[in-house]
Chains A and B, each alone.
Chain A
């Protein structure tokens, strides 16, 4: 009787564990997908940043060449224009880099948040599973103990009962036997069992 209880308890515990592991795996996969998507996005943003820098640099060089080759501007005006273009390019590049850095920072924070969230959920699931299994195991142990205590109690009472019979059977004298038979017959008269 006890073996099936253990068997079904193990089956139940393994089933619970399997469900929890399945859930954790799904959660992990979802978070890893997000993580890879964020990494891809960051790589893509960095590529755009590099390209933008290249374009700005190329535009600035091109503008400087145009200004240098122009004949309508005085040297001073050319110098001023070139300085303005350099400043403008530099400011644009800085602003762009700043925005890009902010984006990267947000992406990193988001990723870190996702990972922390996953970690917290994982810990919560593990803790819940542990508690559930512990509670189930405690319940099974209590049931197992109860059955065994009942068996032990019954066995002990049976032993005492058999011992009592054994002792009584040997201790009663013939005259006691005879008196007891008459006594129970007399007693039965009062209860009208016949």
Chain B
């Protein structure tokens, strides 16, 4: 499995941070040339899915140095992942995070992950910050625009 496929599994910033931490732990362990210890670190640092990805990544590599190189390459690629900041009005469930991740990876490429935060004041929709752009797609903004546009109409109702 290529590192690009591994990166496509990372959806959120939390996952990315945990993945990076795990790889750093593996790099430290790979120098020990202790397959058992390496397997323990792999199990402790990653969930089953991520562990499977790493195993595929280093499959067939016997040399500790080559494993180390492979992991460092993976870490380098991880560091190039682009962050999409999302503000939502509600705490998203895992299924919705996956839906969002799928949408953004389709739009901006697999090399993206989401950094989601929550603010109920935006009422609904989302505010996206990506590559220095700030796009307000919130319901609060839409509502404000509606009131500005229909100010006179609303006033006449009083």
Contact = CB atoms under 8 A, between A and B. Distances in A.
Tell whether A pairs with B.
Answer: yes
Interface of A: 153, 156-157, 160-161, 164-165, 168-169, 172, 174, 176-178, 180-182, 184-185, 187-189, 193-194
B107 interface: yes
Interface string B105-126: 0011000000000001001111
Give the top 5 A-B pairs by smallest Cβ distance, nearest first: A184-B137, A184-B125, A177-B90, A161-B147, A180-B124
A39 B116 CA distance: 101
Contacts of B123: 165, 168-169, 172
Contact of A161 (B88, B137, B143): B143
B92 to A, nearest CB: 8
B124 A156 contact: no
B126 A194 contact: no
A194 B158 CA distance: 40
B31 interface: no
Given A153-B158, A185-B103, 8 more contacts: A160-B154, A165-B123, A174-B93, A180-B124, A182-B103, A184-B126, A188-B135, A194-B130
A14 B103 CA distance: 71
A181 B143 contact: no
A165 to B, nearest CB: 6
A165 B89 contact: no
A182 to B, nearest CB: 7
Sort chain B's interface into a size bin.
20 to 34
Interface of B: 88-90, 92-93, 96, 99-100, 103, 107-108, 120, 123-126, 128, 130, 133, 135, 137, 139-140, 143-144, 147, 151, 154-155, 158
9 contacts: A156-B155, A156-B158, A164-B143, A168-B123, A169-B123, A177-B124, A184-B126, A185-B126, A194-B135
B107 A189 contact: yes
B154 A157 contact: yes
Contact of B155 (A157, A165, A169, A180): A157
A194 B108 CA distance: 9
Given A157-B151, A189-B107, A194 B143 contact: no
A166 to B, nearest CB: 10
Given A168-B123, A185-B137, A157 B96 contact: no
Nearest to B108: A194
A158 to B, nearest CB: 9
A3 to B, nearest CB: 26
For B130, B144, B155, the residue with the greatest tally of chain A CB atoms inside 10 Å of its CB is B155
Nearest to A177: B90
Nearest to A180: B124
Nearest to A173: B90
A129 B126 CA distance: 63
